Amino acid sequence: MDERRLREVALTPDEYKVIVERLRRAPNEVELGMLGVLWSEHCSYKSSKPLLRRLPSSGPGVLQGPGENAGAITIGEGWAAVFKIESHNHPSAIEPYQGAATGVGGIIRDVIAMGARPIALLDSLRFGPLPESSRHFEGVVAGIGGYGNCIGIPTVGGEIYFDECYTNNPLVNAMCVGLVRTDELMRARAEGTGNSLMLVGADTGRDGIHGASFASVELDDNSSQRRPAVQVGNPFLEKCLLEACMDLSHTDAVVAIQDLGAAGLTSAVAECAGRVEGAGAVIDVAQVPRRERGMTPYEVMLSESQERMLVVVQRGREREVESIFNAWDLTSAVIGQVTDDGLLTVVDGSDQVGRLPITLLTDGAPVRRLVGIAPDPPFGLEIDALPPLADAGGTLLRLLASPNLSSRRGVFRRYDHMVGDATIVPPGGDAAMLRVKGTKLGLAMTTDCNARYCHLDPHLGAQLAVAEAARNIVATGARPLAVTDCLNFANPDRPEVYWELEETIAGLAYACRTMELPVVSGNVSLYNESFPTRGEGGPAQSARPDGVGQSAIYPTPVVGMIGLIDDYSKRLGAGLRAEGDFVLMIGSTHNDLGGTEYLKVEHGHVAGRPPALDLTREQAVNRVVLAAAQSGYLHSAHDCAEGGMLVALAECCLLGGIGVRCPAVRPEAPLRLDAAFFGESQSRFIVSVTSRAMPEMQSLARRHNVELSLLGLAGGDTLEFEGQLKLTLAELRQAWDVLVP
């Protein structure tokens, strides 16, 4: 087989040999394309599958773990939350608007396929520095807002970071959360020999062909030629598709629903059949509705045209299901049927054009046994060599104005976060929350990851991502329930990158097991690495044999998390609520300056070890906050994270429109003043309480052996530490409100 042809379908010569051996013949053109997309890294997880088994995926409330379109967990009163996060990185690098928009559309369909109504969207975004990366930044934000707003699902939360390593490799991770009655949860299983396979939604075109393969290779100077691999979305059509699929819950004629995402019809049929032992399918591509003339069977089977679903319908009840889609003015067509021969057979009218074992397609890709080698340790940090803090107020203003810490209001104002009338904690704080209509339940949700920590120590950085997400959930008064993850890495063929992947997954597994948080769904995105022209590489580079700079992202394991509060009237916001409240710090502060935003902004370093983390102490602090919130002691709560205590306190003031007056901070040795103000020690919250609640708060803290300290009193229009800094809220806001796409 010509190696150039193999590269087109992202197969290696060794993988081709395996195919020939297992088929006992050479595959034809259609079969080669089908195997190429399903054996791609994007679909097969052939480099990460052995590592992912380490993640905990079961628990008392888990209804569906990994292996389906999305994960599901029970939340009480007969309801289940369905959620998942996925990446659309490579398409967004080439075509930012459509890459982001179709990423949103795809994750919505994953939730729909479980029988759930999508209720919220979140994102996790990474870009290079502005203004150089404005095209990516502006296009992605517009794409997310455009699709979500049009389809009528609120975008309620997320995160955005900027770093040189993402200049040529933007990360666009989209998360969707949905609700379904537990007895109506669906699985995409092609059960019932003779049942019909119906393709519904948009007509099939040539867009997105080889999209899965494209997402499984590095970006290079020829990547712009892969624009046909970037799909084009239609949110208005997807809205009709969503409502039609919701109407299917009123009939028992539907056996299963499967999203058509990466690898299109090939993946949808093979995965649906692959979940049932011995099941197969026959597909007639001549019956597939098309919007372009002259499409070949190869193109039909590999097309990744958006807004399409595969529906398994009970034999004889096709008209009943068709009528539902007709009511929404959607195309539907029976294109095949379920068989019991374990084969995916593709015909074009009377001609057979492909015939492959389902197991070869879904589980046949040889697992890649890669070797991880720890790289040289990152640049060390000698804390005592740092100059003492000279101007706390000036440093605070510079940190608030830094792209990684500034207000995201300029972004989320582009998103309709109130559509659906369920959002009760809007974006801008620690986590969002939506009410479950007809109940008192509140569902909290967030996405989190500090990739700088992961760059310095992947194992610890992954744990910190889980802990940060949990604290953000707890800050709303909700208890963390479960996790979905999106693991973004560079080229795993390089031993140091595979080592990062190993260490990250080990860290995630340890943190999730310790905190009893099952990982019920997720995604792995590899090869987020580019080969820019000479001189364009950022600092995260390694040499290629040809001397061209190789730009790789930091390991970026994004943690999506949901949490639950039994009575949403007890929810908390991050902003201060009342003058005269006591402003407290829960948790203790140490000399944790490694990997901090302060170190990067003020001293130009990404160095040192990330903040230490004691998960036992983390859980104790969380229990204090949850108990205080449940008892009604707290007026507000805010996680103390990037930028440290002073940035968190400024955010509390800005979000609440109330200042704080504090005595001077006089840290006892060995704690430094800059670490007290801007260090990023973990397991800390800033909360506000009435004076009457102080005895109860002190009792709670003692019971859990957690440190509690008074920072100051809420009131006025300034943030003041006596003799050390005094800034008006207007000055703080002017620095903070700078990020506008």
What pTM did the predictor assign? 0.94
In a domain, 95, yes or no: yes
- Using CA atoms, how far residue 450 sits from 57, 120, 484, 566, in Å, is 23, 23, 16, 30
pLDDT, tens digit (0-9, with 9 covering 90-100), for 195-232: 999 999 999 998 878 755 544 455 555 544 444 557 78
| Average pLDDT estimate for 599-604 | 96
CATH number at residue 477: 3.30.1330.10
Q: Are residues 163 and 191 in the same domain?
A: no
Percent of the chain topping pLDDT 90: 90
Of 569, 587, 610, which residue constitutes the final position of a domain? 569
Whether the per-residue pLDDT at 596 is higher than 60: the answer is yes
Q: Which two tokens stand for residue 427?
A: 């974006």
Q: What does pLDDT average to over the chain?
A: 93
pLDDT, tens digit (0-9, with 9 covering 90-100), for 555-573: 999 999 999 999 999 999 9
In a domain, 343, yes or no: yes
pLDDT given for residue 587 in this prediction: 98
Q: Are residues 491 and 618 in the same domain?
A: no
Percent of the chain topping pLDDT 70: 95
Whether the per-residue pLDDT at 687 is higher than 50: the answer is yes
Q: Are residues 248 and 297 in the same domain?
A: yes
Whether the per-residue pLDDT at 538 is higher than 90: the answer is no
pLDDT given for residue 217 in this prediction: 54
Whether the per-residue pLDDT at 542 is higher than 50: the answer is no
In a domain, 396, yes or no: no
Cα(241)–Cα(163) distance, integer angstroms:
38
Whether the per-residue pLDDT at 545 is higher than 60: the answer is no
Q: Are residues 181 and 255 in the same domain?
A: no
pLDDT given for residue 110 in this prediction: 97
| Average pLDDT estimate for 290-294 | 93
- Using CA atoms, how far residue 594 sits from 208, 305, 502, 671, in Å, is 42, 45, 22, 14
Task: Give the model's confidence band at 548: pLDDT under 50 very low, under 70 low, under 90 confident, else very high.
Answer: very low
Question: What total number of domains does the chain contain?
Answer: 3
Which of 574-593 are b and which e, b meaning 16 or more Cβ less than 10 Å from the residue's Cβ?
bbbbeeebbbbbbbbbbbbb
Among candidate residues 593, 611, 557, 559, the one with its CA nearest the CA of residue 677: 593
In a domain, 32, yes or no: yes
Q: Are residues 199 and 332 in the same domain?
A: yes
Q: Are residues 533 and 587 in the same domain?
A: no
Q: Are residues 22 and 89 in the same domain?
A: no
| Average pLDDT estimate for 156-172 | 96
Task: Give the model's confidence band at 271: pLDDT under 50 very low, under 70 low, under 90 confident, else very high.
Answer: very high
Q: Are residues 437 and 355 in the same domain?
A: no
Cα(549)–Cα(221) distance, integer angstroms:
12
For residue 530, the enclosing domain spans: 49-54+62-185+421-569
Task: Give the model's confidence band at 739: pLDDT under 50 very low, under 70 low, under 90 confident, else very high.
Answer: confident
**HEC assignment per residue over 195-253:** CEEEEEECCECCCCCCHHHHCCCCECCCHHHHHHHCCCCCHHHHHHHHHHHHHHHHCCC
pLDDT given for residue 221 in this prediction: 53
Cα(450)–Cα(175) distance, integer angstroms:
17
Rounded to a whole number of angstroms, the CA Rg of the chain reads 26
Whether the per-residue pLDDT at 179 is higher than 60: the answer is yes
pLDDT given for residue 536 in this prediction: 32
Whether the per-residue pLDDT at 547 is higher than 70: the answer is no
| Average pLDDT estimate for 188-196 | 96
Of 345, 362, 379, which residue constitutes the final position of a domain? 362
Instruction: Please name the residue that has the structure tokens 């300034």.
Output: 718
Whether the per-residue pLDDT at 549 is higher than 50: the answer is no
Least confident of 123-132, 337-346, 525-534: 525-534
| Average pLDDT estimate for 310-329 | 97
In a domain, 554, yes or no: yes
Q: Are residues 489 and 586 in the same domain?
A: no
pLDDT given for residue 219 in this prediction: 55
Active site residues: 42, 88
Of 362, 384, 399, which residue constitutes the final position of a domain? 362
pLDDT given for residue 578 in this prediction: 97
Q: Which two tokens stand for residue 563?
A: 């949490």
In a domain, 379, yes or no: no
Q: Are residues 537 and 679 in the same domain?
A: no
In a domain, 249, yes or no: yes
| Average pLDDT estimate for 659-676 | 96
CATH number at residue 643: 3.90.650.10
Count the neighbouring beta carbons within 10 Å of the beta carbon of residue 246.
Answer: 16
Q: Are residues 277 and 348 in the same domain?
A: yes
In a domain, 654, yes or no: yes
Q: Which parts of 476-555 are beta strand (E)?
A: 479-488, 519-525, 529-530, 541-543, 549-552
* φ, ψ of residue 297 in degrees (nearest 5): -55, -35
Q: Which two tokens stand for residue 177?
A: 């959360």
pLDDT, tens digit (0-9, with 9 covering 90-100), for 636-649: 999 999 999 999 99
Q: Are residues 255 and 331 in the same domain?
A: yes
Instruction: Please name the residue that has the structure tokens 């990250």.
Output: 504
What residue spans of 438-519 are helical by DSSP H? 451-456, 458-474, 495-514
pLDDT given for residue 249 in this prediction: 86
Whether the per-residue pLDDT at 506 is higher than 60: the answer is yes
Cα(311)–Cα(272) distance, integer angstroms:
10
pLDDT given for residue 36 in this prediction: 94
Whether the per-residue pLDDT at 521 is higher than 90: the answer is yes
